[in-house]
Structure 1
């Protein structure tokens, strides 16, 4: 198996609290990352700029592969079926790793 660097695009369905105080139970946002935790941090920073707080993660699915490179740095065309991303079962554990609101 060749050594690849693959960046995935995830679709996060979240429960969030917006800056006006309203809680939304089905808020979708895309996050891009090499792993699940980096994509979650990407979604977290996007929501932080909008002054939203993530309360829970409802579900996560991989939408597509954003890009892939081989060990020489050349772009490679791969499909999501060939290289599915590992998604953890415990969303709360990953959510607790994010920085907390002070």
Structure 2
């Protein structure tokens, strides 16, 4: 289960933002929350991108926590279009590529 939301961009693509439990060796829910941003053609493809990376229990219900303009800018300027930040409320923390999150989950 996750909290999040999306914004449709003028070109028709979307940016989806989800607040998820940090993945661990035993799956989701092993640690503190992380904020994940995904840029994709539509909401379904954004969630599919995350599920294909092993985050199987990811759903978007509603639009309670849409991405902020700063989050949209960050994900649009990243070549992969997938970012995360460990502490969603800490604005000082930088965004990381998704593979850094998944690498720590495998250990």
Q: TM-score, normalised by structure 1?
A: 0.37
Q: TM-score, normalised by structure 2?
A: 0.36
Structure with the larger strand share:
1
